[in-house]
Amino acid sequence: MTIILVLLLFGTFLLIDYVRTRGNVPQIAGERATYASPSAPAKELVEGFQVPANLHYHAGHGWAQRERASLMRVGVDEFAADLLGKVDGIELPKPGRWVRQGQKVWGFTRNGEKTEMVSPVEGEIVEVNPEVVKNPSRMYTDPFGQGWLMTVNVPDEESVQHNFMPERLVKDWIEDCAARLFAEQPQLAGPVMADGGRPKDFAAALPNTNWREVTHEFFLDA
């Protein structure tokens, strides 16, 4: 009798465990399993600018995201996208070229003027985004998504990461950039203070300001 009770008790535990874990197993519909999609990272707003916490940032306003070992996807942050505004064209280097961290590598044109930005990483370019070259507005409207610029093979990830903005300082850095911009261009701060928003295209809001000079100050392209 004792053996039977032990077996029954053991079987009960197995049944309970099965019921508990069954909810974690993908349910099969036909031949396809349905998996829950991971939650998208929160995009914290700093002075009205989106600053996704899952990215690395460079002082030249480029971002980098590790896709897998030695491969990073890069682009421009939202502060840079808004400062550039609705550019007419984007110039990207060709795949196979080696770029250094802090080297001028992207060019943007607007109304006949050109400004440049520096690479946030060092390595060999694997791929450039052809869609953003065809339609530069993708960078302006979605700098962290469809507006990415290129992927880079980064053999020395540790060295590159030393020159990223420390995570604990990113918020202060963006706040400082916004404060400098609004101090120099107080007409931009007006809409922010009045309705909690801000112009998305700073150049359009500053028709009498030299677009090249303003971007040059923040993009470290000297």
pLDDT digits over 146-185, tens only? 999 999 999 999 999 999 999 999 999 999 999 988 887 7
Mean pLDDT of 25-29: 34
Model pLDDT for residues 31-75, shown as the tens digit of each residue:
333 323 233 445 688 988 999 999 999 999 999 999 999 999 999
Q: Which string of b and e fits 76-106 if b means at least 16 CB within 10 Å?
A: bbbbbbbbbbebeebebbeeeeebebbebbb
Q: Is residue 16 in some structural domain?
A: no
- How many domains are there within the chain? 1
Q: Is residue 51 in some structural domain?
A: no
CATH number at residue 92: 2.40.50.100
Question: Among 37-51, 57-71, 102-116, 190-204, whose mean pLDDT is lowest?
Answer: 190-204
Q: Is residue 13 in some structural domain?
A: no
Q: Is residue 173 in some structural domain?
A: yes
Q: Is residue 64 in some structural domain?
A: yes
- Report the alpha-carbon distance of residue 111 to residue 113 in Å, rounded: 6
Reported as a pLDDT band with limits 50, 70 and 90, residue 16 is: very low
pLDDT at residue 28, as a whole number: 30
Q: Is residue 42 in some structural domain?
A: no
Q: Is residue 4 in some structural domain?
A: no
Asked whether the whole model's pTM tops 0.85, one would answer: no
Residue type, 212: R
Q: Are 214 and 188 in contact (CB under 8 A)?
A: no
Q: What is the residue range of 162's domain?
A: 60-219
- Report the alpha-carbon distance of residue 9 to residue 4 in Å, rounded: 9
Q: Is residue 202 in some structural domain?
A: yes
Structure tokens at 212: 């090249």
